[in-house]
A and B are shown apart, each in its own frame.
Chain A
Amino acid sequence: MRVHTPHDLPEALELLASLPGAIPAAGTTDLLPRWHAGRTRPDHLVILTHIPCLRRISVEDDVLYLGALLTHHLLATSAFVTAHVPALSAAALSIGAPAIRNMGTMGGNIANASPAADLPPPLLAHETSLVLSSASSVRILPLHEFFLSYSKVDLQPGEIISEVRIPLLPAHARSFFFKLGTRKAQSIAKVSIAGTALLGRGRVIESIRLAAGSIAPIPLRLHGTESALIGRTLTIDLCDEASRIAMAEVHPIDDVRSTASYRRHAVGVLVHRLLTAIERG
């Protein structure tokens, strides 16, 4: 294995394009243990952490641009992110512990395609698009199209996630993230739910987007639940109804962390809590 540490994006993309078998890497929190245990053997590793433009935070035309190399710590503490995408900063703060949050990056959390990853649900709920860059092209892909199947994503050889684009919601929009994990810190999600909503007069749901993690091979939007909610008045009864629909909509499994039946139940609870939080503002 050879390791490359480019200092700007074109150089990084050129390396990824020209070196056969090259893969991009960022915080290496996931990659390095696998490499050390002999479970992955890339020929070339292109380290992206020294490329400043991949850490930018900016707002243009009601779109928030976040560099893919922003760490969980930066997402959790950025005033911009906390103000405009609260679900995302809450999710980032729920990851690991301080040292991991200093190392792990948003791009890595997305590209690893773990069903239990914490950032994809809030990003899905905020209708995020990914900017995928390679030496020869830049394409923009809605995040929900990025996840294909378990551990499979639409990332071509030579391509990296360079940026995410989050359309800003009106100031009165609500954005929440709820996670049921394995413990109070250093916690992997058994189930996580993120949601955004706009309530109109009389608490009528004008728009709502819900997404969940650890409930299927990939992070998913809960479209069935959303469509049952849209246009209706947000009441306790509706929260109950939405919980039931969400529980029917997910396909969790038994694994080392939890059981399918508990996860299904927890989806109902978290959807209820999320809607209650939305209702309370």
Chain B
Amino acid sequence: MIRRTMVVNGRTETVDIEPGLRLIDVLRDRLNLTGTKEGCGEGECGSCSVIVDGTLVLACLTLAESLVDGTRILTVEGLSNDALGARLQRAFLACHAVQCGYCTPGMLLAAHALLTEDPDPTSERIVQALSGNLCRCTGYAMIVEAIQAASREHG
């Protein structure tokens, strides 16, 4: 068992981690942050996308112990307290980019990583940024439009 301190959505959390625990298990089972979803457990669906120290990663492929103390993690639960996150949430709602909602947290985080790096992306760039996040409900167009809307709202 290893103790790790991480800053999750701005809050410092200390967690005792047993060997082999994945970041998704820490978030969901230890911190009760169940907004991060497990869709496949092998990095194919993107539902567990989170941002670790500014980088988009998959929580189901991240070994919790491999994170150093002080690692900053952003999950869907932290988006409302973040200007860009809140803008994306509003845009997803307004553009009907949400249906069943299971891919939505991962989509929002992938979009957040994109707009942080490129506040005014082309639609091709948006498509590339979302290409690791499967959605089976929408056909994607309304999600792309939501990200464009969030980007415009900023500009």
29 A–B contacts, CB within 8 A, in A order: A1-B20, A3-B2, A3-B20, A3-B63, A27-B61, A28-B62, A32-B60, A33-B41, A33-B42, A33-B61, A35-B20, A36-B22, A36-B41, A36-B60, A37-B41, A47-B65, A97-B131, A98-B110, A98-B113, A98-B128, A98-B131, A99-B43, A99-B56, A99-B57, A99-B110, A99-B132, A103-B61, A103-B62, A186-B132
Interface contact A33-B128, CB-CB below 8 Å? no
A56 on interface, CB distance cutoff 8 Å: no
Distance of A102 from chain B, by nearest CB (Å): 5
B16 on interface, CB distance cutoff 8 Å: no
Choose among B2, B19, B55, B63 the residue that contacts A102 (Cβ–Cβ < 8 A): B55
- Residues in chain A near residue B58, CB distance under 8 A: 29, 99-100, 103
A1-B20, A99-B110 given; name 14 further pairs at CB < 8 Å: A3-B66, A29-B43, A29-B58, A32-B61, A32-B62, A36-B20, A96-B132, A97-B46, A99-B46, A99-B58, A99-B132, A184-B131, A185-B132, A186-B132
- Residues in chain B near residue A100, CB distance under 8 A: 43, 58, 61, 132
- Residues in chain A near residue B19, CB distance under 8 A: 1-3
Distance of B72 from chain A, by nearest CB (Å): 15
Number of A residues whose C-beta is below 8 Å from B?
A: 27
How many A-B pairs fall under 8 Å by CB? 84
What per-residue 1/0 map shows which CB atoms of A20-32 lie under 8 Å from chain B? 0000010111001
Interface contact B66-A49, CB-CB below 8 Å? yes
Distance of A58 from chain B, by nearest CB (Å): 23
A152 on interface, CB distance cutoff 8 Å: no
Which of B106-137 touch A at CB < 8 Å?
110, 113, 128-129, 131-133
- Residues in chain A near residue B44, CB distance under 8 A: 186
B49 on interface, CB distance cutoff 8 Å: yes
B68 on interface, CB distance cutoff 8 Å: yes
Distance of B53 from chain A, by nearest CB (Å): 11
Choose among A32, A49, A98 the residue that contacts B22 (Cβ–Cβ < 8 A): A32
A207 on interface, CB distance cutoff 8 Å: no
Choose among B41, B60, B65, B132 the residue that contacts A98 (Cβ–Cβ < 8 A): B132
- Residues in chain A near residue B63, CB distance under 8 A: 3, 25, 28, 32, 45, 47
